[in-house]
Structure 1
Amino acid sequence: MKIKSIKTAFLVLAIGATIITPSCKKILEFESDSSSSETQVFSSLNATNTAIVGIYNRLIGDNGYGNRLSCLFPLSADDFRTSGSYGPTDRRGLSMYGASPDNTDLIVPFTQLYSGIERANLCIKGIPESKLYTSGSATEQATIKRYYGEALTLRAQFYYELIRNWGDVPQRFKSAAYEETLFPTNGNRDETYDIILEDLKTAEALVPWRSQIAEYGSFRITKGAVKALRARIALARGGYSLRTESKLMERRSDYLKYYQIALDECRDIINSGEHKLNPVYENIFKTLHGTRVDNERELIFEVAAFGGNSNTDSKLGYYNGVRFNSSSSYGQGGGGMNAIPTYFYEFDRRDLRRDVTIGVFEINAASKKIINTLNNMTDAKFRKSWTAFNNTSTSQTFAVNWPVIRYADVVLMFAEADNEVNGQPSAQAIEELRKVRERAYGGTIPSDIPAIPTTKADFFTALVKERLLEFGGEGVRKYDLIRWNLMNSKFQETRAKLEELIAGTGNYANVPTIVYTKESNYNLTSSKDEVASLDLFGGSANTVLYQLGTVTSTPTGYTARNWRASLTRENQITSTSTGFAFYFEPNKKELFPYPKTALNQNTNMNQNFGYVGL
């Protein structure tokens, strides 16, 4: 059967893995064999590892979680949106839910995800047929079965990413060399989800916990990552999604079956003791920048970035994150994502997550920090100043990793599933939510913070809010809103809040119109201290940004910065160029359009119905 095609496929796979070795982060290093035939690849642990690393390679780069899958696809939600003005064929079209099938940011990520699936399919077929798998030594069998589990897990991640963005994507669970047709039709997403959930169940029996593999760092998949991903996918399978048949947001009648899967998987991770909450929220994100300050292993699954190129590295901290003026000592960085102005005020002013998550300040040409305007705040979990790169470097890639799943997500998924399955939160569910909230306040929840609710509906509402605060800018919120079927209502709620904020009414009656500031030293201290030491007339940010000013003219030595005055109904709500999620239509735009190029190449595929005729 197509022997030439098969050998060619394996040759491409081996080459694809080999080209990523320079400057590779240590945990992904391997030795490459000189031959790449099917039999030879899987008769050697080194060659098999090379093939597995080739699958990992499809996670990263500009068209993976190095930029588009991390910073473009998850926007907008009620936390962040893409900066700039709308265009249907670029990243702003994605953010404003007005992307056309010609959008240039869609096709290559779509193709790269299927490339990852193809590489995984080759390994998933070849590894079990290997003599090492069936008759190798105990150590050899354990290792190659671990590789098999990694391949199954990576394929599941690729499919999950495709489904949550496009819905009923074509299925391919065999390598193209073994398929009867190279042009499959749209597959049923429920069937695809069920297959990969079973794959992950197989994988979790093959992949050990992190502590059982001493040579593993945090960049290879371990049992905790498999179980966490299975829980996440189970909640997506049990949640709402835009259905092709009914053209409505619906969830299936057997949804509790999948919530139970999520509950069981998250409980296993919690009980394992392998992962814990990092006591310092900010350290999770500093760890992604290279200096490991996550001994608790909250980062369960992160995508490694390396090599200083667009294929294997990331633009995290360059495209997104805190804004650095190109003339500063740090050089250019950040600014590609803006906080929804209301998001700042979703946080209690004592919540330490606010200043880690939102870039209240920017770094100017003098390398000083100065407060942003309210409509120009950025995401802040990625910062060029947390890397070794400065203005002597022209690089746009800083080797910053992307967090796929954190332990905080596991405990909050547990709490959500527990509440849904049992009809009310158990004591443990309440405790897990409390732990996340307690960390947010530095270890002690203020006495005036409302207690965690104990009824199903109120607990769910509290969980929805907690996930908004915990995962801002991490590409989680949009997909949460979709699976809860809250996207339309939360978008309407956000617009209503923007109206109040612009007018300075309701909960925003005390938000100042203008603030007065001086540039101040950027000390590279904790985010809380950095924001507290902003030079604002009238006191600290936690005072000035929460009370109406009484000054009628700019104080001597200060500069006026528009705060609430930077917002208008046009630039925030009604503008066709910048209005919040302006082109969103419920029951139509929860999914992306398939790229026109993909439809032209595979005429058996059907366009998502919200874009037919475009």
Structure 2
Amino acid sequence: MKLKFKNAAFLVLAIGAMIITPSCKKFLDFETPSSSSEDVVFESTTYTNSAIIGVYNKMIGDNGYGSRISTLFGVTADDFRTSGSYGSADRRGLSMYGASTDNSDLINPFAQLYAGIERANICIKYIPVSKIYTSGSATEQATMKRYYGEALALRAQFYYELIRNWGDVPQRFTPAAFAETLFPGNADRDGTYDQIIADLKIAEDLVPWRSEILEYGSFRFTKGAIKGLRARIALARGGYSLRSATRTMSRNADYLKFYQIAKDECKDIMDNRGQHDLNPVYENIFKTLHGTRLDDAHELMFEVAAFGSNASTDSKLGYYNGIRFNAASTYGTGGGGLNAIPTYFYEFDQTKDCRRDVTLGIFEITATSKKSINTLNNFTDAKFRKSWTSFDGKSSSQNFAINWPILRFADVLLMYAEADNEIGNGPSALAIKSLGEVQKRAYAGFTDLPIIPTDKAGFFDAIVKERLLEFGGEGVRKYDLIRWNLISSKFAETRVKLQQLIDGTGAYTNVPNYVYSKESTYNLTPSVAEVASMDLYGGVPNVVLFSPGLNSSTAPTGYTVKNWRKSLSTDNQITSISTGFAYYFEANKKELFPYPKTVLNENTNMTQNFGYIN
């Protein structure tokens, strides 16, 4: 029993606890019980809340969504990749699909996800058998049920992250102290998916809607977020994945059953627009992640809270990734860890889609604190910006308290449209309307929106394109391509597009070789205006970057030449073993990461994923 008591105490003594309000994230002092027994921990709503906070804390930090899982695991797709040159044992190994089993960026996130599962398992075991859960006051019972639902949802999120990155991961749904073995082997992912989908159904009936627990904001699971997570996991369960037995990408014959779950869950959320809706201003979704809440529509349904200015509970978002800030600027160092695939810029409508300038770091901030256009091969992601925080060059911190978005209402609309189209062999009027809502927000101020196809194949292609534009840099695209079994074909398509861009052919015939720029004032205005006010020879970016221009390597007087297409070559974009796009990807092998070597050494019951050597 001593081990059991230690496990229960582990959560109560978890590092830091936070109270979450709609406007802030901060530490909450909590009382540590005199005994480590679960009889103490889970017979108090205060201590149980501390235990639940201990589970949430395993989502954040350098080895969670504060850095590695958020900014490394979800690249490369046809939106972004990590910057720099390939190394099998570092972050570029992940991005180029050539990670070795001793990759340093795999082991700690893997361990942290399982630590979160263990903490959740303890809560899930003890909360339902506590006296205040079964026979406490009505308020106590409702509170404990809510905590139980949150624990189930958190465990589901941890398992989902493990499965989509490693496949048939070991599963355990009881605390280690009660497990038949501490070293379980690989478990079929379908069984794990089925369990967490069932768990989320329980959880959504226990946890209230957002409006009933305002203090949670979007930093803790509420009913809408749980429903959205259940829809997302159901689509993954019904989608394609790399199967261990057959060593091929496939999906099960009963996949429509899971598409129906996703459709139903999304419809429930859509029927409750008072809880969650589209933020009318796309950019404000991401500014909200930086501290100032600009999301009264509550599009952000669940985000991972970052706080505390440390590697365990904060994030390096905006420091590692995001717009690049010169260290000598008034803002200090920030950004640059992710680069856009050069073709991504030209996927957006040339003049109408506001998402392009929010998503892509077209400019960088120079040593003089002004903005200057990047070369085409050096764009960054831009939804995370040090200048949107209160941190500046006076601070030496690498942690800016920027949150990571897990789920947005736009995703609910697009998941509904996708599921409806698949089930109905073509889109319903509501599916078309749902896709149209996302496009209308993106084309703010314009009435001539893209034409939405009404046939099944055409509508699916529209969904594929819309999700590329909507979720760039949010770690969504890679996993979409995998579950659609499009990752190999889209990579091939991207290489063709890259070569056309390099050659200036096809859709890229008028893309210039060079652009000519001056540094200009960084106004911190909305992104579309910020990009439009860059000082380029020949006019505004929406003209200059789509016109051949002077085609001279000599800049006009007063301007500096910047390589545009000339910054690209077949070698640095496609064929280089160091920087070539997804160079080491192999279909039916590299859709999953390798298990870390140290994990297999400790657990000899596990089997390495196909295509990797232990």
Aligned to 2:415, which of 410, 413, 436? 413
CA offset at residue 180 of structure 1?
1.3
CA offset at residue 32 of structure 1?
2.5
Question: Matched residues in 1 for 2:103 and 2:18: separation?
Answer: 28
> Superposed, which structure 2 residues align to 1:223-372 within 5 Å?
223-273=223-273, 274-349=275-350, 350-372=352-374
Q: Is the partner of 1:362 in helix, strand or coil?
A: strand
Q: Is the partner of 1:257 in helix, strand or coil?
A: helix
CA offset at residue 382 of structure 1?
0.2
Question: Matched residues in 1 for 2:320 and 2:605: separation?
Answer: 36
CA offset at residue 326 of structure 1?
0.4
**CA-to-partner distance for each residue in 1:367-407, whole Å, 9 max, x for gaps?**
00000000000000000000000000000000000000000
Partner of 2:558: 557
Q: Which moved more, 1:429-438 or 1:4-13?
A: 4-13
Question: Matched residues in 1 for 2:513 and 2:19: separation?
Answer: 53
Q: Which runs of 5+ in 1 are unaligned?
A: none
Partner of 2:386: 384
Aligned to 1:15, which of 13, 22, 27? 13
Question: Matched residues in 2 for 1:294 and 1:146: separation?
Answer: 24
Kindly provide the amino acid, as one letter, of the partner of residue 32 in structure 1: E
Q: Is the 8 A contact 1:20 1:307 kept in 2?
A: no
Tell me: CA distance 1:61–1:118, structure 2 relative to 1, closer, same or farther (3 Å).
same
Partner of 2:4: 6
Tell me: CA distance 1:67–1:434, structure 2 relative to 1, closer, same or farther (3 Å).
same
Question: Matched residues in 1 for 2:311 and 2:31: separation?
Answer: 22
Q: Is the partner of 1:496 in helix, strand or coil?
A: helix
Question: Matched residues in 1 for 2:101 and 2:108: separation?
Answer: 13
CA offset at residue 28 of structure 1?
6.9
Kindly provide the amino acid, as one letter, of the partner of residue 435 in structure 1: E
Kindly provide the amino acid, as one letter, of the partner of residue 460 in structure 1: F
Kindly provide the amino acid, as one letter, of the partner of residue 62 in structure 2: D
> Superposed, which structure 2 residues align to 1:573-612 within 5 Å?
573-611=574-612
Partner of 1:508: 508
Q: Is the partner of 2:515 in helix, strand or coil?
A: strand
CA offset at residue 220 of structure 1?
1.2
**CA-to-partner distance for each residue in 1:66-123, whole Å, 9 max, x for gaps?**
0001000001000000000000000000000000000000000000000000000000
Partner of 1:217: 217
Question: Matched residues in 1 for 2:20 and 2:418: separation?
Answer: 43
**CA-to-partner distance for each residue in 1:438-493, whole Å, 9 max, x for gaps?**
110115342xx541000000000000000000000000000000000000000000
CA offset at residue 216 of structure 1?
2.4
Kindly provide the amino acid, as one letter, of the partner of residue 549 in structure 2: G
Structure 1 length-normalised TM: 0.98
Q: Is the 8 A contact 1:516 1:537 kept in 2?
A: yes
Q: Is the partner of 1:215 in helix, strand or coil?
A: helix
Q: Is the partner of 1:515 in helix, strand or coil?
A: strand
Kindly provide the amino acid, as one letter, of the partner of residue 359 in structure 1: G
> Superposed, which structure 2 residues align to 1:105-254 within 5 Å?
105-254=105-254
Partner of 1:521: 521
Kindly provide the amino acid, as one letter, of the partner of residue 99 in structure 2: A
Tell me: CA distance 1:123–1:140, structure 2 relative to 1, closer, same or farther (3 Å).
same
CA offset at residue 258 of structure 1?
0.0
Partner of 1:432: 434
> Superposed, which structure 2 residues align to 1:12-91 within 5 Å?
12-18=10-16, 26=25, 29=28, 31-35=30-34, 36-91=36-91
Question: Matched residues in 2 for 1:147 and 1:27: separation?
Answer: 20
Q: Is the 8 A contact 1:62 1:314 kept in 2?
A: yes
Question: Matched residues in 2 for 1:532 and 1:550: separation?
Answer: 20
Q: Is the partner of 1:555 in helix, strand or coil?
A: coil
**CA-to-partner distance for each residue in 1:559-604, whole Å, 9 max, x for gaps?**
0000110000000000000000000000000000000011011110
Question: Matched residues in 2 for 1:550 and 1:30: separation?
Answer: 63
Q: Is the 8 A contact 2:20 2:219 kept in 1?
A: no
CA offset at residue 26 of structure 1?
4.3
Question: Matched residues in 2 for 1:395 and 1:347: separation?
Answer: 35
Tell me: CA distance 1:407–1:267, structure 2 relative to 1, closer, same or farther (3 Å).
same
Kindly provide the amino acid, as one letter, of the partner of residue 522 in structure 2: Y
CA offset at residue 212 of structure 1?
1.2
CA offset at residue 10 of structure 1?
1.9
Question: Matched residues in 2 for 1:444 and 1:406: separation?
Answer: 23
Q: Is the partner of 2:162 in helix, strand or coil?
A: helix
Kindly provide the amino acid, as one letter, of the partner of residue 560 in structure 1: V
Question: Matched residues in 2 for 1:12 and 1:71: separation?
Answer: 29
Q: Is the 8 A contact 2:266 2:415 kept in 1?
A: yes
Question: Matched residues in 1 for 2:265 and 2:446: separation?
Answer: 29
Partner of 2:102: 102
Tell me: CA distance 1:229–1:418, structure 2 relative to 1, closer, same or farther (3 Å).
same
Q: Is the 8 A contact 2:300 2:408 kept in 1?
A: yes
Q: Is the 8 A contact 1:234 1:259 kept in 2?
A: yes
Q: Which moved more, 1:36-45 or 1:250-259?
A: 36-45
Kindly provide the amino acid, as one letter, of the partner of residue 554 in structure 1: A
Question: Matched residues in 1 for 2:97 and 2:14: separation?
Answer: 34
Q: Is the partner of 1:405 in helix, strand or coil?
A: strand
**CA-to-partner distance for each residue in 1:308-332, whole Å, 9 max, x for gaps?**
0000000000000000000000000
Tell me: CA distance 1:75–1:555, structure 2 relative to 1, closer, same or farther (3 Å).
same
Tell me: CA distance 1:394–1:503, structure 2 relative to 1, closer, same or farther (3 Å).
same
Kindly provide the amino acid, as one letter, of the partner of residue 376 in structure 2: L
Kindly provide the amino acid, as one letter, of the partner of residue 13 in structure 2: I
Q: Is the partner of 1:453 in helix, strand or coil?
A: coil
Q: How many residues are aligned here?
A: 609
Q: Which moved more, 1:546-555 or 1:283-292?
A: 546-555
Tell me: CA distance 1:158–1:22, structure 2 relative to 1, closer, same or farther (3 Å).
closer
Q: Is the partner of 1:345 in helix, strand or coil?
A: helix
Q: Which moved more, 1:419-428 or 1:19-28?
A: 19-28
Q: Is the partner of 1:469 in helix, strand or coil?
A: helix
Question: Matched residues in 2 for 1:208 and 1:445: separation?
Answer: 38
CA offset at residue 421 of structure 1?
0.6
Q: Which runs of 5+ in 2 are unaligned?
A: none
Q: Is the 8 A contact 1:27 1:216 kept in 2?
A: no
Question: Matched residues in 2 for 1:32 and 1:308: separation?
Answer: 23
Kindly provide the amino acid, as one letter, of the partner of residue 268 in structure 2: D
Kindly provide the amino acid, as one letter, of the partner of residue 289 in structure 1: H
Question: Matched residues in 2 for 1:218 and 1:162: separation?
Answer: 23
CA offset at residue 551 of structure 1?
5.6
Question: Matched residues in 1 for 2:143 and 2:609: separation?
Answer: 42
Question: Matched residues in 2 for 1:270 and 1:443: separation?
Answer: 24
Structure 2 length-normalised TM: 0.98
Q: Is the 8 A contact 2:24 2:291 kept in 1?
A: no
CA offset at residue 9 of structure 1?
1.4
Q: Is the partner of 2:220 in helix, strand or coil?
A: coil
Q: Is the 8 A contact 2:9 2:41 kept in 1?
A: no
Question: Matched residues in 1 for 2:327 and 2:26: separation?
Answer: 33
Q: Is the 8 A contact 1:286 1:386 kept in 2?
A: yes
Q: Is the 8 A contact 1:27 1:217 kept in 2?
A: no
Q: Is the 8 A contact 2:17 2:30 kept in 1?
A: no
Question: Matched residues in 2 for 1:292 and 1:521: separation?
Answer: 26
Q: Give the fraction of aligned pairs with identical amino acids, expressed as a percent.
A: 68
> Superposed, which structure 2 residues align to 1:467-506 within 5 Å?
467-506=467-506
